[in-house]
Amino acid sequence: MKVRRPAARWMTPVGVAVFAVLVATCGFLTSGSAAPTGDGVVGSPADRAARAATLAGAQSPSPGSSTRIGAVVVDRHTGEVAVSGAADEPMFTASLAKLMVAASIVDGARRAGVPVDPYDVDLIGRALGPSDDLAMNELWVRFDGVDVLRRLDTMWGLRQTAPPVDGSFWGATTTTAREVARVFDNVLGLPEFAREIVLGPMESAPPVAADGFDQLFGLRSEDLDSFTTVKQGWMCCLADTAHLHSAGVVGTDRRFIVVLVSRTPQTTATDWNSMRAALSAAALSAVNALGAEVRRPRTENPVRRRGAARTATVDPSVTFRTAPPRVITTPHQCI
């Protein structure tokens, strides 16, 4: 018998205790609500409070920080959705647009009863794993990216996701952390053959992206040895801002969806190190709060090691994440 999981409660987010640790750690508004105990995810209320206080004192952003962070955690077993900070503030997607376009293409083909062309499966794999901009450029042109994104509203009710004003600049798509979580939730509900076209490449993504950017941050941080399937995003300096995102699925059974998005005003050279550190600390706190079931021994996670398949290094402060899709070019520099 197939067990039906409760639907995520997108319209009534609940500040569950699993998320309370993340909330305190990242300097967000704290939640005093308590989650049910006994399923191995969190300890007693006293333990959770102590852990949250300790983590908050050690890892809260410095006073006066101008970085905006949005976070969403979804427990797919209980249907609970917890949000914090800038979770509902529209931000540029950067490479999270690749996830949205790929998911729309795959689900669109499923609904039409046709297979995804092997050539397009390859493009999706390159766009989602090594985060290859040229592969995304081709997908954007082949499928009319603006129309693909608009269909997500009809298919999955993404009311806060909007195509870029300049229809050729896919990284300037806007969305919210909550809606990225909704995309993952819908992808996880697809039949396995369709689901793995999207999730498989992210699960085996290399440490270094196609443009040379180090992908080991946030939910893929080297300090975080957990079962994760993650899409990273980074972009500078559209609208005088820098964006760094880390979003994915956590747990051996893909129980939890965790989305972390961040935006920092671009007044001087981008401080990627600080942005990466903040997002990685938030991710580590969230995963620690979710419990031992999402952890894995370090020896079982070789692809995440910094030295594994590392083929390029660049100065990320000069990396502009997106390239115009109709032009074959190297990533733009931040100016």
Name the pTM for this structure. Answer: 0.77
* Whole-number pLDDT of residue 268: 63
* Mean pLDDT in consecutive groups of 10 residues from the start of the chain, 335 residues: 55 39 35 35 34 30 69 82 85 97 96 96 98 98 94 92 93 96 96 96 96 94 82 94 93 86 80 87 81 54 43 35 34 31
What pLDDT does residue 271 have? 82
End-to-end CA distance of the chain: 57
Instruction: Say how far residue 13 (Cα) sits from the centre of its chain.
Output: 19
DSSP state of 144: T
Residue among 25, 35, 34 at smallest CA distance from 69: 25
The pLDDT value given to residue 74:
83
Q: Are strands 68-75 and 80-85 parallel, antiparallel or unpaired?
A: antiparallel
Phi and psi dihedrals of 100, rounded to 5? -65, -45
- Please give the pLDDT value at position 6: 63
In this prediction, residue 36 carries a pLDDT of 35
pLDDT value for 33:
34
Which candidate, 246, 205, 317, places its Cα nearest to that of 91? Answer: 246
Alpha-carbon separation of residue 145 from 2, 178, 223 (angstroms) = 36, 21, 35
Residue 229 has φ and ψ, to the nearest 5°, of: -125, 110
How far apart, in whole angstroms, are the C-alpha atoms of residue 193 and residue 125? 14
Task: Find the helix or strand (DSSP H, E) in which 58 lies.
Answer: helix 45-59
Burial of 121 (0-12, 13-18, 19+ CB in 10 A): middle
